[in-house]
Amino acid sequence: MKYIDEFRDKVLVDQLLEKISSVTSKEIALMEVCGGHTWAIQKFGIPFLLPENIKLLSGPGCPVCVTSKKFIDQAVAYSRLKDVIITTYGDLIRVPGSTSSLNVEKSRGADVRIVYSVLDALQIAKENPSKRVVFLGIGFETTAPSSAAGIHNALKEKLTNFFVFSSHKIMPPAMAALIDEGVTINGYIAPGHVSVITGSHIYEGIPSKYGVGCVISGFEPVDILQSIYMLCKQIQENDYRVEIQYKRVVKPEGNVKAQEMMAEVFTLRDDWWRGLGTLKDSGLAIKEKYSNFDAEKMIPVEVEETKEEKGCICGEILKGLKKPNDCRLFAKVCTTSNPVGACMVSHEGACNAYFRFNK
């Protein structure tokens, strides 16, 4: 298949592995920030192929994983309202809240629907004028523009029953926070899809401030291995920069139209990240101008007190300080069919990927 097979070519993979082995023998810890990379790395069995001196850490790039339990609890509370239809990307429905999950509420009769796009949610709103349709806006710069477009379209079409519950976040504050917290990271495999929207400049502060390189990577094995090679080369040459490996998709300036759409609808706010706590200007709130579409403002709801799971070390795993199998719940109490922490739910989550492919 075009654009896939070339990037899974075994000969190229072997050549890259050889180059990686020969470029440096230093002990190197690289973090993939994006959950899509975590998934691909495990799916293709990449850790098994790398030389021993190169360690890959999974970062906080799985949207489901970094979303707070409070957000889930509030979504559960919305789903219990008789006239509300919850529309959400698939993984979120299995994330455990304090005492329930959207999946469980669905089995109790709540109207929870999985959508692949915010446009599906808009369509559901149009078809159900007597219901309030809440779209759960999670994800980074990748999904935020489409949520913004959803709100924009709802305004254009004069929909009064469509709302976004935003937990959208942006990536750079988390990448800086990890280094500030003292996690040893020698290079970032930077998120490809985020960068399609943002361009490469958002990472500029990381090499200049911390001396840590960023290579924006694609998601196929050849992409990931080439990015690892580029990072190793930067480390060997002591020359830390932002580079784009995923050139077939990512432009330095990004997708300007999508950036404008985001800026039109969202404004920065401090936000809470699982494992990292509250990070300044890291979340996206819906601007006052669009508050008619903001579920938080328009649908008052009582939310139960948030209870965090005891023993779950998702936080440390998201920071790359621990591996999933360091957790005493891993594969015993916490499994893909009965996840305790969010990292076990999404197939982009480090625990889930580790459980499915390595346990």
Write out the residues near other proteins by the rule CB under 8 A: 1, 4, 8-10, 13-14, 42-49, 94, 96, 99-101, 103-104, 106-108, 116-117, 221, 335-337, 347, 355-359
Q: At closest approach, how far in Å is the CB of 336 from other proteins?
A: 4
Name the residue nearer to other proteins (CB basis): 290 or 330.
Answer: 330
**Conformational region of residue 294, where left means phi above 0, alpha means psi within -120 to 50, and beta covers everything else:** beta
Cross-strand partners of 111: 85
Q: At closest approach, how far in Å is the CB of 246 from other proteins?
A: 16
Rounded distance between C-alpha atoms, residue 318 and residue 333, angstroms: 19
Name the residue nearer to other proteins (CB basis): 220 or 271.
Answer: 220
Backbone angles phi, psi at 211, to 5 degrees: 65, 40
How far is the CA of 301 from the CAs of 76, 113, 182, 253, 304, in angstroms?
10, 20, 39, 41, 10
Decide: 69 and 308 in contact? Cβ < 8 Å. yes
Name the residue nearer to other proteins (CB basis): 10 or 82.
Answer: 10
Q: At closest approach, how far in Å is the CB of 108 from other proteins?
A: 6
Angle, CA 225 vertex, CA 219 and CA 227 arms, to 5°: 80
| Residue 175 burial class via C-beta count within 10 angstroms: exposed 0-12, middle 13-18, buried 19 and up | buried
Question: Cβ of 108: how many Cβ atoms within 10 Å?
Answer: 10
Q: At closest approach, how far in Å is the CB of 263 from other proteins?
A: 28
Name the residue nearer to other proteins (CB basis): 87 or 282.
Answer: 87
Decide: 342 and 65 in contact? Cβ < 8 Å. yes
Q: At closest approach, how far in Å is the CB of 287 from other proteins?
A: 30
Q: Collapsing DSSP states into helix, strand and coil, what is residue 213? A: strand
Name the residue nearer to other proteins (CB basis): 45 or 311.
Answer: 45
Q: At closest approach, how far in Å is the CB of 178 from other proteins?
A: 26
Name the residue nearer to other proteins (CB basis): 102 or 174.
Answer: 102
Rounded distance between C-alpha atoms, residue 271 and residue 273, angstroms: 7
Name the residue nearer to other proteins (CB basis): 309 or 316.
Answer: 309
Q: Provide the H-helix boundaries in 141-220.
A: 144-156, 172-180, 192-198, 205-210
Q: At closest approach, how far in Å is the CB of 294 from other proteins?
A: 27
Decide: 138 and 92 in contact? Cβ < 8 Å. yes
Residue that the structure tokens 């920030």 belong to:
33
Q: At closest approach, how far in Å is the CB of 58 from other proteins?
A: 15
Name the residue nearer to other proteins (CB basis): 292 or 325.
Answer: 325
Name the residue nearer to other proteins (CB basis): 53 or 358.
Answer: 358
Query: Hey, what are 24's tokens?
Result: 């440096």
Q: At closest approach, how far in Å is the CB of 107 from other proteins?
A: 4
Q: At closest approach, how far in Å is the CB of 183 from other proteins?
A: 26
Burial 48-74 (b: 16+ CB within 10 A, else e): eebeeebbbbbbbbbbbbbbbbbbbbb
Name the residue nearer to other proteins (CB basis): 109 or 277.
Answer: 109
